[in-house]
Amino acid sequence: MQRRELFRMTIGAGALGLLGVMGLRLASHFLPPPPRKLLIKERDLPANGKVKVGEEYFLVRLNDGRLLALSRRCPHLGCTVNYQPSGQVFLCPCHQSRFALTGAYLAGPAPRGLYALKWKKTEGGLILEIPG
């Protein structure tokens, strides 16, 4: 192999590598960021019939003991939904969409209920996934 040929191959491999890196960086702009994971300790989980209000989530312990994790982002235009303990509902302050404790749609312009968040039980609590 001549030096000139070796030089061409090295430059070609370098250019391909650079294109690959640039392609990966470009693709990363179009992919959703990975979800953030929050650890909620066992002692911070709500009791039966109660709701824990986080910055971006609701944790709802239904009367039968089932635990639900719901996003606070309104499915209408994305406002932050609040909990109304007196009415046992979630209410969006922007256009007054209402949601049941299960996250089901009740009223207002929202096209659907609140988004369910993924969570999994872990030692000492649970890990909640907040979409990026």
List residues near ligand FES by CB under 6 A: 74, 76-77, 79, 92, 94-95, 97, 108-110
- Tokens 């609590």 appear where? 125
C-beta closer to ligand FES: residue 17 or 109 = 109
Element (H, E) at 7: helix 3-30
CB 120 to ligand FES: min, Å: 28
Contact assessment for residue 73 and residue 115, using Cβ atoms and an 8 Å cutoff = yes
Judged by CB, which is closer to ligand FES: 57, or 119?
A: 57
Nearest to 123 by CA among 51, 42, 36: 42
C-alpha to C-alpha distance for 113 and 118, rounded to whole angstroms: 15
**Nearest distance from C-beta of residue 41 to ligand FES, angstroms:** 30
C-beta of 105: minimal distance to ligand FES in Å?
A: 10
CB distance 102 to 57 below 8 Å: no
Q: Residue 93 Cβ, how far from ligand FES at the closest point, in Å?
A: 8
| CB of 46 or CB of 108, closer to ligand FES | 108
Judged by CB, which is closer to ligand FES: 51, or 74?
74
Q: By three-state DSSP, how is residue 79 classified?
A: coil
Tokens of 30: 């179009």
| Three-state secondary-structure class, residue 37 | strand
Nearer to ligand FES, 101 or 126 (CB): 101
Q: How far is the CB of 101 from ligand FES (least distance, A)?
A: 17
